[in-house]
Structure 1
Amino acid sequence: MGRRGSGGEVALDPVRRLALEALLRAEEQNSYVNLYLQTRLAESNLHPREKALVTEIANGVTRWRLYLDWVLSRFCKTPLDELPPIPRNILRIGAYQILFMGSVAAPVACNAAVELTKALSHPGMVALVNAVLRRVAENKDNIPLPDRDREPARFLSVKYSHPEWLVERWLKEWGWEETEALLRANNEPPPLVLRVNTLKVSVGEFLELLEERGVSAEPCKFAPDGVVVRGGDKGEALKLVRKGLAYAQDESAMIVTHILSPRPGEKILDDCAAPGGKTSHIGALMQNQGEILAMDVHEQRLKLVEKTCKRMGVTIVRLVPADGRSAWLFLSEKVDKVLVDVPCSGTGTLRRRADARWRKSPELIREMAGLQYELLRGVAPLVKVGGVIVYSTCSLEREEDEEVVRRFLERHPEFEPEETRQYLPRPIPDCEAEFGAIRLFPHRHGTDGAFIARLVKRAEGRVEE
């Protein structure tokens, strides 16, 4: 709601105005809501509670945009895509508060939207915004959805605000119950998970440091060096991250490195290494003994690896600016193990970024699968006989996971799949995938979605041109 200025005029609510600004910027310039807010909130004088509210509104509207538009279209005679961007996004902000934020009374949400519209749009939009939002408030407990039996994909798409093409894929692959559980999990904000830097502190000591700062946390379920922050000021936890005592990293990413099973004294290649989270984890598990070759095609991004490893106290890293698709042309030495944590569509991490689901496409999945295969074959000649490649993605799509591994094994018979589960630091239920690999799900395991396969080299092979 607007605030009265000294002259009686209404001063615009800075929280909703900044949320609107972020949404408009994302829509008009294709920018990322979270990245834009990081900069703008750091510059603002808003109270921390107000900053949290800006973030909740902007991310909530972005995440639930499809459902919000479905609801608004029930009560708005003008098609939403024909409305100007400002009133369209003001309607979304108002509807999100009415439908999802029990802490905001419907009249407050309506009045705040009206004041924003008065100030930023033309007079004809004020009555429309007011009428539509009041009807949303009156009918919020009786919103019709697409027919579940006749249009199952559309029903789930609208109800859980995911692209229909992606819901169709998952229904075909995973079935109704699994897909609905996954969609629901993607709309739950993920916890802050930290990997403890065991080069500097033990997990027990780190938990004590958090407790001293009023932060409640508990050990991760599957990764022995991870902790999950459950309460308190996350800013206090992140101060310890900046000191190099921990690294913000999902548990699934920690499990990837444990499956690689680095040992002191080994030589390990980390392909696609930036920004260095897994590189620094490899260094910790190697106890800073041996050598890590951190490769990335973007030399600038290798500086992030260098910065991360310096902060974490990892001293055994050699930076290799090179394209992993031709890794064998840039390195002459053989290595014991290779981590190929490839760029991917990221469909296993949709809960992490509010706008991620709207930036995916079937074309992206096909494009990524081609790149992933090229990266995997590019490192094959560098592996010693008896050595290992761990291939991992944060995608749930078979084209990027099993099919890439299948294609690689067909063309590289010198490699065989290993039973990945035997390298897990702790048992994980219901994670089996083809080729001895594992797949993690947000709704099953409480982690980001991930696919992890371990391939062992049994003989020398040819270089694939």
Structure 2
Amino acid sequence: MSSGMEFRRLVWEVLCDTSGKFRKDILREKFAKLNIPAFEKRFISEMVHGITRRKQTLEHIARQYSKALPKDIWVLNALWMGLYQMLFMQSVPAYAIIDTTVELLKERKKHKESGYVNAILRRVQRESHGVENQKQSDDILPIDLHRSIQFQTKVFPNPEKKLCEYWSIVYSYPLWIVNRWYERWGKEDCQRILEAGNSVAPVFLRVRKNFSEIEKAFTSQGIEFSVQGNFLQLLHPGRIEALPLYQEGYWTVIGPSAASFVEAMNPKPGMKILDMCAAPGSKSAYIADLLENSGTIIAVDISAERIQSLEENKIRLKIDCLQPVIMDASCLPKEYTESFDQVLLDAPCSNSAVLAKRGEARWRLNSQNIQELCHLQKKLLLSAARAVKKGGTLVYCTCSLEPEENQAVIQNFLEENQEFVCEEKKQIFPLPPELDGGSFFKLSRKNQEGA
């Protein structure tokens, strides 16, 4: 069996996994067990995450060529694999896509179903072709900024009459998200965010020491990167732990947006800081560096498994001031009351500002989920506030664009806790080059009542 078949088989297994785990975690487990070259890892990752993001587009197109879709998860995902490669991956010839997809199904004794999938793929191949980017139309599927697929028939809603429905299908987002973003930001910004959410999320490394040595080590191993200020952007990220100088703690994984939230805290050496919901610890590590490893960071997380990653980072990065603690941050102990100079709450959220990195998040979201998250966020914020000293700082941030999780949470909090004032706030849209966004609020607690 060719290596190409083996890698597609792996993609198929990940897509059909019913364990409930995030697909990025399933992939990480698979990659840790198998010796797969970096190029093939990129191919596998692109297929898994691309199909996850583009599920709605693929399903809509398939329904144009089939009266009913199969209920068998293996057949359905084989169809998605074939369609995704044919429409979104130019590197693979159509005949090879069809042949390998059919062969996979036959391996599982799904001979009848292989004929069904073969027929749909061949019809899509005949009735579509690549074109340079065209204006939006009911026969056009935009692929990226430079390329589109044109179909022979009207496959999509008419964008002149039903623009949000068209975007929902061709960019593959739930319609309710497209509607709310369009109403909030208008046509141009909404479309830019939708496009960016389907891009491959880059990986950024924050350099902690000896920039030139890292550049030399990466270059010697053929690792492609670009320099972005104090960060390196990996152009083709592989297994992070296998990169040069990882064990020596020369760098940590964090993007410029998330790092800017820490910088806005302006932590000083000797401070006592509480990092709530801290795992995996990239912000804690940056705080420790800004403290010059002098002071105390209590890094709290409810998950024992995630706390383990904090413990490992503490050792690898040689951070003495970091104290990971397994704890429910919504119920901090009494001894934490008014005992911290700064508190950072990176709250659990909808992840709507990091959809390029977390492709499944868009399909797990609904308005009820957001309300449940808001309830938790308010509870955590009150807990965080109790831990801040008078004259201290409380930073609230999320990876969300939704006002219910950001402005509304803060407004409600400030109305009920008037000893706090908002000193700084910002929202970062998830646009190139980083593709990560989020919202940030820096609150200060008055030294005394009315002061």
Is the aligned partner of 1:392 residue 2:382?
A: no
Counterpart Cα distance in 2 of 1:185 and 1:192: 15
Aligned in 2, Cα 1:50/1:215: closer, same or farther, shift over 3 Å? closer
* Residue of structure 1 aligned with 2:10, choices 10, 13, 18: 18
Which shows bigger deviation, 39-48 or 396-405? 39-48
- CA–CA distance in structure 2, aligned partners of residues 395 and 364 of structure 1: 13
Contact 1:57 1:96 in 2 (8 A): yes
Equivalence map 1:239-254=2 (5 Å) = 239-254=244-259
Q: Return the alpha-carbon distance in structure 1 between the equivalents of residues 249 and 295 of structure 2.
A: 21
The answer on 1:296 being equivalent to 2:307 is: no
Matches within 5 A, 1:66-77: 66-77=56-67
Greater alpha carbon shift after TM alignment, 357-366 vs 262-271: 357-366
Q: How far did residue 286 of structure 1 move? A: 0.6
Q: How does 1:190-229 map to 2 (within 5 A)?
A: 190-197=201-208, 201-220=209-228, 225-229=230-234
1:301 deviates by: 3.3
Cα pair 2:351 2:399 within 8 Å, conserved: yes
Structure 1 residues 367-378: aligned runs within 5 Å = 367-378=372-383
Match of 2:136 in 1: none
Check conservation: 2:338, 2:390, Cα contact below 8 A: no
Q: In the TM superposition, what are the counterparts of 1:283-432 in structure 2 within 5 Å? A: 283-327=288-332, 329-332=334-337, 334-418=339-423, 420=424
Match of 1:177 among 180, 188, 207: 188
Is 1:36–2:26 an aligned residue pair? yes
TM-score by length of 2: 0.88
Residue-by-residue CA offset, 1:291-349 (whole Å, 9 max, x unaligned): 11222334553333222122111111234443322336242562211111111111111
Cα distance between partner residues in 1 of 2:43 and 2:384: 46
Q: Aligned-pair distance for 1:208?
A: 3.8
Q: CA deviation at 1:288?
A: 0.8
For 2:391 and 2:6, the matched residues in 1 are separated by 61
Query: Is the partner of 2:249 in helix, strand or coil?
Result: coil
Query: By how many angstroms is 1:372 displaced?
Result: 1.0
| Residue identity in the other structure for 2:77 | N
Report the equivalent of 1:271: 276
For residue 149 of structure 1, what is the aligned residue in structure 2? 160
1:325 counterpart SS class: coil
Contact 1:213–1:236 (8 Å) recurs in 2:
no
Q: Is contact 1:98–1:106 with CA below 8 Å preserved after alignment?
A: yes
Deviations 1:204-261 (A, max 9, x none): 44334433433343333xxx53221236877697332333111111221111110111
Match of 2:106 in 1: 118
The residue identity in structure 2 corresponding to 1:153 is C
Shift, 1:145, TM fit: 1.4
Partner of residue 102 from structure 1, selected from 77, 82, 90: 90
Q: Does 1:166 align with 2:169?
A: no
- Alignment match, 1:135: 123
Q: Quote the Cα distance in structure 1 between the aligned partners of 2:346 and 2:38.
A: 36
* Offset at residue 444 of structure 1 (A): 6.2
The 1:454/1:232 distance shift into structure 2, 3 A limit, reads closer
Kept in 1: contact 2:300–2:326 (CA 8 A): yes
Change (3 A) 1:12 1:276: closer
The Cα of 1:165 is off from its aligned counterpart by 1.7
CA RMSD of aligned residues (A): 2.5
Scaled by the length of structure 1, the TM-score of the pair is 0.85
Tell me the CA shift for residue 178 of structure 1.
0.9
Instruction: Specify the alignment match of 1:53 in structure 2.
Output: 43
Distance 1:297 1:47 in 2: 35
What amino acid is aligned across from residue 368 of structure 1 in structure 2? L
More helix by share: 1
Q: What is the deviation of 1:399?
A: 0.5
Q: Is the 8 A contact 2:430 2:438 kept in 1?
A: no
Secondary structure in 2 matching 1:161: coil
SS state of the match for residue 394, structure 2? strand
Aligned residues: 427
Shift of 1:59: 2.1
Indicate if the aligned counterparts of 2:301 and 2:327 stay in contact, CA closer than 8 A. Answer: yes
Secondary structure in 2 matching 1:318:
strand
Residue deviations 1:37-76 (CA, integer Å, cap 9, x gap) = 2222333355443343222222222221111111111112
Q: Say if 1:268 and 1:336, in contact at 8 Å, map to a contact too.
A: yes
Change (3 A) 1:40 1:325: closer
For 1:379 and 1:260, the matched residues in 2 are separated by 15
Q: Distance in 1 between matches of 2:418 and 2:358?
A: 39
- CA separation of 1:284/1:235 partners in 2, compared to 1, >3 Å: closer, same or farther? closer
Distance in 2 (alpha carbons) for counterparts of 1:216 and 1:14: 26
| Aligned AA (1:392) | C
Q: 3-state DSSP class of the match of 1:62?
A: helix
1: CA distance, partners of 2:236 / 2:81: 27
Look up the match of 2:74: 86
Equivalent-residue separation in structure 2 for 1:216 and 1:460 (angstroms): 53
What residue ranges of structure 1 are gaps of 5+ in the alignment?
4-10, 421-436
Structure 2 Cα separation of the partners of residues 270 and 168 of structure 1: 35
1:263 deviates by: 0.7
Question: For residue 21 of structure 1, what is the amino acid of its counterpart?
Answer: E
Deviation at 1:460, TM superposition (A): 4.6
State the alpha-carbon separation in 1 of the partners of residues 75 and 435 from structure 2: 37
